[in-house]
Structure formats: structure tokens, C-alpha cells
């Protein structure tokens, strides 16, 4: 039989706790199942820079063939990623960036562009005049910084659109839900909540439960996941005015890893597409997403069937071997 080289891929994930990253892992596992020579190990840093640094060191010491990192915050994680890269381990950054060019490739949407798109949308929605509360993702993470900058770039041209307050939501629904009311109390004349992701938009919305403001305020977020509590559903239910698609890129990440490990050509910057979703296109998008989800389930079922067949084949081969050689 032909020997195929096995590759170990270490993935240092900043957190595993939310639906967006769970969707990413599912996509990665499915794509990896087409390449049995790739074995993927994921370590969850649980939103901690210190834990992530430790886990990346473990992957370096283990001499993984390739390292994937979604850095919790840019500055604290830069050093250890550079260390891995300088030791000759190819590094793929996903979704979040570091403060250095010492990596092999990046996969993710352009967060500055997506922020700008949101800013343009808000200017339109508020007809050029209104007060905005911004709910931030983790302050040292690149998507938060870039979404903020892109948004300001778009709204700065309209001096009557003002960001009047900031909430530190750290990407988490419960944190946003906890901290939003105190800020809102000081800015009850706000018109819109610009949250750096959908779950924090929902947390802020829920924190106003029972208050009249809940129905008056407009909310926008990012991610646009399918499924029961996903952004698409929130737009359809009228909780969000809009969400901006932020693809997880799971499939692209594995394809890129495959190309790098097999010495095939690859691009350093792999920018995923985005789009705005509001009441005008949410129905069609939900239909398409549901269709994709059911096709993905079919692929998983096929994969399980194939694995069963391989098991049966291997058992029969062993049996034949015993019969022939005993």
C-alpha cells in the first residue's frame, strides 16, 4: 500500500463557547473528513490570553505540522505566534489578527470594510441624524478595533450622527446584558445600538425587558448565523434591524492548511465576502441557509456510512487473513 504522510494540525481557539465558533468547528471537521491524513487538535483558551499563550507553547513543543490561531487579543498573543512561525511551523490566523506579519496566511472577512458597511447602513437608517450607543467586542481584539474604525469612517461625514456612549461587552451576550442598562440610563435619548456582534445586540435588547425603550431603539449586529438564536432569526423577528454576514471560513481554513502542508500554492490574505441582511433579504437568506444546513447533514450521514463500510471491510480482511494463514 502507498504510504501517505500524516499531519497534525493544532488549532488554538480563543473561545469555544459560542455558536459562531461551534459552526466553524463543524465546518472544519467536515472538510477535514475529506483528507484523512489530516488530524486536527483543538485547544480552547476560554477567552484568556495567558491560557492561549500556554496552549500555543504546548503545540510548539509537540512539534505540530501546522498551527491555526484565532488570537484572543492581538498584542498579548503576537509574541508566541512569532515564536512558532520563526521555528518553522506554518501559521494560519483566522478571524482575528496579531500585530506582526510573522504568519503564513490569514482567513477572515475584512472587519474594517464590514464596519464601514454598517456605518453607511446606520446613516441611511437614521436619515443622517441620531445618537448611537456602541457595544464593543473585546477591546484588544482586531475585529472590535477594525469594526469600530470602519464604522466611524462612514459616520464621520455626517456630524449629526453621533456615538454618544460605549459599553464594554467583550463579545459576550451576558456581559453586554449586564452592562448595557447603566450606560443606557445616562443616554435614554439614544436612537440606535451598534453592537460588534449579534449576541451582544441581543443581550442589550433583553436587558431592556419591560421598558418602553426596547421597542423604540434600533439594533444592529454582526455574524448573521442561521439557527434558532442566530442573527437571521433576530432580523426576521424584528429584534435586529440588520446584521452583517461574518463567515466563519471553516472550509477555507482546512483547504488552506491542506495546500500549505502539501506544498501547493496559496495566498497570504484570504478575505471572505460579507453582505448586509435586513428585512428585505432575510427570508431568502434563511431559506438558503436551511438548505445548506440540510445538505451538510446529508454529507455527514454519507461520511458515517463510508466509515461503517470501511470498518466492515477491515474486519473481513482480518478474517480472510486468519483463514488463509492459520
In the range 33-92, which residues lie near ligand FRU by CB under 6 A? none
In angstroms, rounded to a whole number, what is the distance separating the alpha carbons of residues 174 and 18? 12
Q: Which stretch binds ligand FRU (CB under 6 A): 136-144, 250-258, 269-277, 305-313?
A: 136-144
Interaction between residue 143 and ligand FRU (CB under 6 A): yes
For 144-193, the DSSP string reads HHHHHHHHHHHHTT-TTEEEEEEEE-TT-HHHHHHHHHHHHHH-TT--EE
Strand order in the sheet with 269-272: 38-44, 7-13, 66-70, 91-94, 105-109, 269-272
Q: Which parts of 293-322 interact with ligand FRU (CB under 6 A)? A: none
Smaller CB distance to ligand FRU: residue 171 or 258? 171
Chain positions 243 to 272 lying near ligand FRU, rule: CB under 6 A, are: 246
Single residue of 171, 180, 205, 219 touching ligand FRU by CB under 6 A? 171
Residue listed under C-alpha cell 447533514: 297
Q: Identify the CA nearest to 223 among candidates 21, 16, 28.
A: 21
CB of 192 to ligand FRU, least distance (A): 19
Q: Residues 182-211 vs ligand FRU: string with x where CB under 6 A? A: ---------------x--------------
Q: Does position 18 bind ligand FRU by CB under 6 A?
A: yes
Q: Which of 205, 164, 203, 201 is nearest to 183 (CA)?
A: 164
| Angle ∠(229,299,27) on CA atoms, nearest 5 | 50
| 223 touching ligand FRU, by CB under 6 A | yes
**Residue choice 9, 56, 96, 195 for contact with ligand FRU (CB under 6 A):** 96
Nearer to ligand FRU, 130 or 203 (CB): 203
106 binds ligand FRU (CB under 6 A): no
| Distance of alpha carbon 216 from alpha carbon 238, whole angstroms | 12
Does residue 222 touch ligand FRU according to CB under 6 A?
yes
State the Cα–Cα distance between residues 312 and 294, nearest whole angstrom. Answer: 27
Closest by CA to 94, choosing from 198, 9, 184, 179, is 9
Does residue 150 bind ligand FRU (CB under 6 A)? no
Given the rule CB under 6 A, which of 98-106, 119-127, 135-143, 264-272 is the region that contacts ligand FRU? Answer: 135-143
Strands 276-278 and 242-245: antiparallel
Q: State the residues that interact with ligand FRU by CB under 6 A.
A: 15, 18, 20-21, 95-96, 137, 141, 143, 171, 197, 222-223, 246
Amino acid at each position: 500500500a502507498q504510504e501517505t504522510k500524516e499531519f497534525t494540525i493544532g488549532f488554538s481557539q480563543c473561545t469555544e463557547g459560542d455558536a459562531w465558533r461551534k459552526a466553524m468547528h463543524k465546518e472544519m471537521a467536515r472538510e477535514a473528513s475529506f483528507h484523512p491524513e489530516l488530524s486536527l487538535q483543538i485547544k480552547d483558551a476560554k477567552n484568556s490570553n495567558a491560557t492561549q499563550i500556554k496552549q500555543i507553547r504546548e503545540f510548539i513543543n509537540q512539534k505540530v505540522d501546522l498551527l491555526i490561531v484565532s488570537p484572543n487579543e492581538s498584542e498579548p498573543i503576537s509574541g508566541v505566534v512569532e515564536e512558532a512561525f520563526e521555528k518553522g511551523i506554518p501559521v494560519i490566523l483566522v478571524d482575528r489578527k496579531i500585530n506582526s506579519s510573522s504568519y503564513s496566511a490569514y482567513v477572515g472577512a475584512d472587519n474594517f470594510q464590514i464596519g464601514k458597511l454598517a456605518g453607511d447602513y446606520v446613516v441611511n437608517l437614521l436619515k443622517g441624524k441620531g445618537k448611537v450607543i456602541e457595544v464593543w467586542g473585546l477591546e484588544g481584539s482586531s475585529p472590535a478595533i477594525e469594526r469600530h474604525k470602519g464604522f466611524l469612517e462612514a459616520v464621520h461625514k455626517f456630524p449629526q450622527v453621533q456615538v454618544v456612549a460605549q459599553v464594554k461587552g467583550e463579545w459576550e451576550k451576558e456581559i453586554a446584558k449586564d452592562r448595557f442598562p447603566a450606560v443606557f440610563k445616562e443616554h435614554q435619548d439614544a436612537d440606535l445600538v451598534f453592537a460588534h456582534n449579534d449576541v451582544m445586540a441581543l443581550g442589550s435588547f433583553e436587558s431592556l425587558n419591560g421598558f418602553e425603550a426596547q421597542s423604540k431603539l434600533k439594533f444592529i449586529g454582526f455574524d448573521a448565523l442561521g439557527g434558532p438564536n442566530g442573527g437571521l432569526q433576530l432580523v426576521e423577528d424584528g429584534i435586529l434591524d440588520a446584521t452583517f454576514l461574518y463567515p466563519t471560513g471553516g472550509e477555507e481554513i482546512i483547504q488552506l492548511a491542506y495546500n500549505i502542508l502539501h506544498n501547493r500554492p496559496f495566498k497570504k490574505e484570504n478575505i471572505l465576502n460579507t453582505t448586509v441582511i435586513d428585512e428585505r433579504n432575510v427570508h431568502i437568506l434563511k431559506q438558503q441557509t436551511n438548505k445548506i444546513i440540510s445538505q451538510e447533514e446529508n454529507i455527514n450521514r454519507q461520511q458515517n456510512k463510508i466509515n461503517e463500510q470501511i470498518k466492515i471491510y477491515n474486519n473481513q480482511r482480518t478474517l480472510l487473513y486468519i483463514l488463509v494463514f492459520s
